[in-house]
Amino acid sequence: MSLPKDAVLLRIFIGETDRFEGRPLFEAIVLKAREVPLAGATVLRGPLSFGRTSNLHIEKILRLSDDLPIVVEIVESQEQIDKFLPLLDTMIGSGLVTIEKVQVIRYGNGIKAA
């Protein structure tokens, strides 16, 4: 699979406790992206956030939030992302979804670095 030089970054901000059809939402999104197939997806877990409600979600030793922030990032062509958005819309009840233009500098060649 290849990516065009001019691509887009789809960024999905959700909570760790968000679910879709019995599984964590972030996992469901990644599995759907793989099924489509998109070029790849990465899940990032944040130690601190607040959003629309201004509730603070924080990861500390003495106080663990039960709903830490999760960000799913997908880089793909605009056309592929446009096809994926209706699927994503059926999965997300609450969250923030952004798209920004990016330039792909390198997308692997199958050769491992020594």
Q: What are 10-56's pLDDT values in tens digits?
A: 999 998 889 999 999 999 999 999 999 999 999 998 777 676 776 66
- Calpha distance 28→8 (Å, rounded): 21
Give the domains, in start order, of the chain with CATH numbers. 6-103 (3.30.70.120)
For the chain, percent of residues with pLDDT exceeding 90? 60
Which DSSP symbol is given to 39?
S
Strands (E), 1-114: 6-15, 19-20, 23-24, 42-45, 48-49, 57-58, 69-76, 96-103
Provide the whole-model pTM.
0.82
